[in-house]
Structure 1
């Protein structure tokens, strides 16, 4: 599959916002090494090696790029060239940390590094500057939490693609097959439906469904099993899908039917609660309170959701104690679950985009317990 990126104008706007937020944070520089933040700001898919690659952002200077000469060809696939950013390439024996600090005038006070920056580079950079860094989370979180239209369009594409996979899961979930066999069919379908690959596949049958982070095993699926299927992956230019539906192989018991219905009510209530100004923790409470009132609070063992974009898990986190107010353009999952160790589990997950007056779910497959 051909790698894609947004037009250079998208990255130009993001860099301008990053520069503005750097100034507002009172920082003299941001050092962004390879990872989701660098990809967000430039479209670069560079990887972290022992040689330093970094985007250097200053509130008063234009952004610069530090890159090993042998990585120049890969850098040209990003928007850096079109943006006209100054590029400082270096060869072994030169000091890239001096190049990085010189890019912002050499007089550095408070500075920050991206979350993905390894100690391999943050320690030499700190030694060069003479003080340790802060995390750039406060600046970059605000940028990446609120999606621009290009990102929203990509998330729509990813949501529709994973919906098409879930629509076919019933063809593969059969008694007598192993979770691994079902997962192989799902993985092929994820790629066939437009993803560049499968980032994760959970097929949790019977007691394995009670482990929220179970992946797959050689367990043979049995008649009567409740099966949690949580799947997702990136579509170009790198935005992720993530959707969970719960299935039952054969007729579910009355207990499963009744408790699943409560879970479905909790998930719907959380979706209905999403609108600008509501705090993230209130969305968690909207789902959790229903489960607690039904005596299922102890079976809900994780947060209600997480942000999504270039990373499967990113800000904002929909969890108790997070008082951040929702804003239009935020994208996150709503995925309450109930888990009964040694017996079964269930989860329902949609990705939603906050709109001006509510939210738009990106996943449209039915939420009912699907009997196959």
Structure 2
């Protein structure tokens, strides 16, 4: 995937909205722009993309090796738990030179937005609507990746259905489905797999059971 092209795509969106920069936390858009998969945790992990196409970040030091390998072009401030994140975000504000900032409001938590407000000296704007078109239109490589993922999923499901027999729990079937996906080239499941049987099958957000009764 061409992550530089994706950064420039976001920069063009920011320019159209007269927005100097937007800050994001780990999630779908963060992964789309960097290829780095991190979870939301108690340590603020901030990615900033400017309208000029610059990439800045404040990253916990324990992620340094992975981050620098995947995002060497980013101007990154790494911070330790012992020092806290306030100084890191203040340094991020100084190196960007920004006084106005949008954030991924539909994903970012209050404590991260508040920390950015303190560091940049201004309350951030909600940039949720700006991000909507970012992943809407797919290029050829993205379409090919989606088609490959669909094929892997279908093949894994077909294989799993052949392995189902009396006595297997929903959890065991789910595990077999995931294994079949991984064996066929999947990086993992896009979301928690739901395998339900009997009356529970009507629950669209049910949790697989290990009950053999």
Q: Using structure 1 for the length normalisation, give the TM-score.
A: 0.50
Q: 1:188 to 1:134 in 2, by over 3 A?
A: same
Q: Report the Cα offset of residue 14 of structure 1.
A: 0.8
> In structure 2, how many angstroms separate the alpha carbons of the residues matched to 1:195 and 1:61?
31
> In structure 1, how many angstroms separate the alpha carbons of the residues matched to 2:109 and 2:208?
31
Residue 203 of structure 2 is aligned to residue 216 of structure 1: no
| Conserved 8 A contact 2:8-2:53 | no
Which residue of structure 2 lines up, in the alignment, with residue 87 of structure 1?
A: 76
In the alignment, structure 2 segments of 5+ residues that lack a partner are none
| Conserved 8 A contact 2:103-2:113 | no
Residue 11 of structure 2 is aligned to residue 19 of structure 1: yes
Residue 104 of structure 2 is aligned to residue 119 of structure 1: no
| Aligned residue among 51, 61, 64 for 2:56 | 64
Q: 1:211 to 1:12 in 2, by over 3 A?
A: same
Task: Count matched residues.
Answer: 209
Residue 133 of structure 2 is aligned to residue 142 of structure 1: yes
Superposition map of 1:170-189 within 5 A: 170-189=161-180
Which residue of structure 2 lines up, in the alignment, with residue 53 of structure 1?
A: 45
SS in 1 for 2:134: helix
Q: Report the Cα offset of residue 69 of structure 1.
A: 4.3
Higher strand share: 1
Output one character per residue of 1:194-252: Cα deviation in whole Å (capped at 9) or x when no partner: 2233443323222112212223224669xxxxxxxxxxxxxxxxxxxxxxxxxxxxxxx
Which residue of structure 2 lines up, in the alignment, with residue 263 of structure 1?
A: none
Higher helix share: 2
> In structure 2, how many angstroms separate the alpha carbons of the residues matched to 1:87 and 1:184?
38
RMSD of aligned alpha carbons? 2.7
Q: 1:32 to 1:168 in 2, by over 3 A?
A: same
Q: 1:117 to 1:160 in 2, by over 3 A?
A: same
Q: Which moved more, 1:207-216 or 1:50-59?
A: 50-59
Larger Rg: 1
Which residue of structure 2 lines up, in the alignment, with residue 207 of structure 1?
A: 199
Output one character per residue of 1:123-181: Cα deviation in whole Å (capped at 9) or x when no partner: 11123334433333222221112222222222111111111122223323334543334
Output one character per residue of 1:68-98: Cα deviation in whole Å (capped at 9) or x when no partner: 44532121231x21xx333334452661222
Q: Report the Cα offset of residue 60 of structure 1.
A: 4.0
> In structure 2, how many angstroms separate the alpha carbons of the residues matched to 1:217 and 1:97?
43
> In structure 1, how many angstroms separate the alpha carbons of the residues matched to 2:170 and 2:53?
54
| Conserved 8 A contact 2:99-2:122 | no
Q: Using structure 2 for the length normalisation, give the TM-score.
A: 0.81
Superposition map of 1:121-270 within 5 A: 121-198=112-189, 199-218=191-210
Q: Report the Cα offset of residue 12 of structure 1.
A: 1.0
| Aligned residue among 12, 19, 24 for 1:32 | 24
Superposition map of 1:97-112 within 5 A: 97-108=89-100, 111-112=102-103
| Conserved 8 A contact 1:31-1:114 | no
> In structure 2, how many angstroms separate the alpha carbons of the residues matched to 1:70 and 1:187?
29
